[in-house]
Amino acid sequence: MTTIFIKGLGLIGSSLTRAIRKRHPTFTIIGNDADPQTTAYALKHHLIDQSTRELTAAVAADFIILATPVTEIINDLQQLAQLPLKKSVIITDVGSTKQAVLKAALPLQEKGITFIGGHPMAGSHKTGVTAGRADLFENAFYFMIKTKVPDDAYLALQNLLQGAHVKWLLLSAQEHDQLVGQISHLPHVIAAALVNQTQVFFADSPLGMRMAAGGFKSITRIASSDPTMWSSILQSNSAIIIQQISQYVNELQKIQKAIMEDDHDQIFSFFKTAKNSRDELGPEKVGQLPNFFDLFINIPDQVGALAAITQLLALNKINLVNIHILEIREDLDGVLQLTFMRENDRAQAVKILTHAHYTILRKD
């Protein structure tokens, strides 16, 4: 009997358990998450077989998967080194930075325990167990970090995650952090900085940002990502990201200078060079953007208002992936973001909620 212990049943952890379940239905999955609602959901939907609040439950495992924010992964690797784990266990993580994680895994490796740093290059700005899906990683790259482990350990991990249908790529922790610093961490900093600067720009006319069309929304989608996760990522890849921010600021200064000098050729070449590179990437290679469908509605500032909406959707068998209150001020209505997996679910929800006299604000 193969036993998996997984800590962190959010977007990534629950997507992995879903993929493992598909390929290895007989494996026992023990789940650990700080949020009791998450473990309850995971049990109810058979994503895990047992839930536990204790890391010590990992001693029974053949595979341990750490899928919490990076700082927590680092913490757990240190704790795991103190436990009497199975000699044959394979430990892996999904954290978005790898040098700091590998450093924290050293005490385990010194004890002869196999640790393989991992990172699926797919995800979303959505979080939590309800946003997870078995096909989240399909055709995405999945980085594995080169370490001194028995060759068959890589194969065993790949076999475990076969149901995720990823493209495996082996690289060093340093190469990994440089690469994802540029193509993932820096873009998240830029998106958040742009939203913050826009917010300041419109400080006296708060409606300004709401006028934004496709351009602003495309470049800032990832500014909706989880602040806990992203603080953890930047703090564990600080030296690299500091350098990459400087190089980006240089690029902005170049275009600022060209505009100040009214240098048409420089301005044209700035956009032309970018267009050529971006066009080469092609939409099909841009990575996994899961098709989530958002609906924004007014929610009255009344006790039970949220429950009334979720009950209405549940009664009509409409599956919600995520629910998020965006604004709620005393005595004023708030904005509720409802996320659906399928466009049809959202269309049904619009019909039902309109019929129940809720105001639909927008669909994204």
Ligand X SMILES: O=C(O)C(=O)C[C@]1(C(=O)O)C=C[C@@H](O)C=C1
Ligand Y SMILES: NC(=O)c1ccc[n+]([C@@H]2O[C@H](COP(=O)([O-])OP(=O)(O)OC[C@H]3O[C@@H](n4cnc5c(N)ncnc54)[C@H](O)[C@@H]3O)[C@@H](O)[C@H]2O)c1
Positions that interact with ligand Y (CB under 6 A): 7-13, 32-35, 38, 67-70, 72-73, 94-96, 119-120, 123-124, 127-128, 226, 229, 233
Alpha-carbon distance of 78 to 93, in angstroms, equals 13
320 makes contact with ligand X (CB under 6 A): no
- Residue 114 vs 184, nearer CB to ligand X: 184
How far apart are the C-alpha atoms of 127 and 141, rounded to whole Å?
Answer: 20
Fill in the per-residue mask, 275 to 304: x = in contact with ligand X (CB under 6 A), - = not in contact: ------------x-x---------------
Q: Does 121 bind ligand X (CB under 6 A)?
A: yes
Cβ-contact 17, 29 below 8 angstroms: yes
For residue 148, the SS3 value is coil
Q: Which does 184 bind (CB under 5 to 8 A by kind): ligand X, ligand Y, none?
A: ligand X
Integer angstrom CA distances of residue 56 from 83, 109, 221: 7, 18, 38
CA distance 352 to 245: 47
Distance CA 264, CA 254 (A): 13
Binding-site member from 38, 39, 114, 124 for ligand X (CB under 6 A): 124
Distance between CA 54 and CA 83 in Å, rounded?
Answer: 12
| Per CB under 6 A, 133 contacts ligand X | no
33 binds, among ligand Y, ligand X, none (CB under 5 to 8 A by kind): ligand Y
Residue (12 or 157) nearer to ligand Y, CB: 12
The CB-of-281 to ligand X minimum distance in angstroms stands at 13
For residue 6, what is the DSSP state? Answer: E
Among ligand Y, ligand X, none, what does residue 118 contact (CB within 5–8 Å per kind)? none
Q: Smallest distance, Å, CB 315 to ligand Y? A: 27
- List the one residue out of 132, 113, 150 whose CA is nearest residue 42: 132
Q: Does the protein bind ligand X through residue 219 (CB under 6 A)? A: no
User: How near is the Cβ of 184 to ligand Y at its closest, in Å?
Assistant: 8
Which of 98/297 has CB closer to ligand X?
Answer: 98
CB 96, min distance to ligand X, A: 3
Helices (H) and strands (E) in the chain, counts: 13, 12
129 three-class SS: helix
CB-based burial of residue 164 (10 Å sphere; 0-12 exposed, 13-18 middle, 19+ buried)?
buried
- Interaction with ligand X in 95-114: which residues (CB under 6 A)? 96
Could you say which of ligand Y, ligand X, none residue 127 binds, taking C-beta under 5 to 8 angstroms by partner kind?
ligand Y
Q: Is 222 in the site for ligand X (CB under 6 A)?
A: yes
> Do strands 28-32 and 3-7 pair parallel, antiparallel, or not at all (unpaired)?
parallel
Which H or E run contains 78? helix 70-80
Nearer to ligand Y, 33 or 345 (CB): 33
**Partner in contact with 128, chosen from ligand Y, ligand X, none, beta carbon below 5 to 8 Å by kind:** ligand Y
Which lies closer to ligand X via its Cβ, residue 30 or residue 234?
Answer: 234
Judged by beta carbon distances under 5 to 8 A according to partner kind, the member of ligand Y, ligand X, none in contact with residue 107 is: none
The torsion angles phi and psi of 138, rounded to 5 degrees, stand at -55, 125
The Cα 99–Cα 174 span in angstroms is 6
Do 22 and 29 form a contact (C-beta atoms < 8 A)?
no
69 contributes a contact to ligand X by CB under 6 A: no
**Rule CB under 6 A: which of 158-187 touch ligand X?**
184
Any contact of residue 71 with ligand X (CB under 6 A)? no
* 168-205 burial code (b ≥16 CB/10 A, e <16): eeebebeebbbbbbbebbbebbbbbeebeeeeeeeeee
By a kind-dependent CB cut-off of 5 to 8 A, residue 222 interacts, out of ligand Y, ligand X, none, with ligand X
By the 8 A CB rule, do 77 and 66 touch? yes
In this structure, the chain runs to a length of 364
Shortest separation between residue 121's beta carbon and ligand X, angstroms: 5
* CA neighbor of 112 nearest in space, from 73, 137, 85, 141: 85
Residue 287: which of ligand X, ligand Y, none does it interact with, CB under 5 to 8 A by kind?
Answer: ligand X
Q: Are 160 and 63 in contact (CB under 8 A)?
A: yes
Taking the complex as a whole, the smallest distance from the CB of residue 184 to ligand X amounts, in Å, to 3
Residues that bind ligand X (CB under 6 A): 96, 121-125, 184, 222, 225, 287, 289
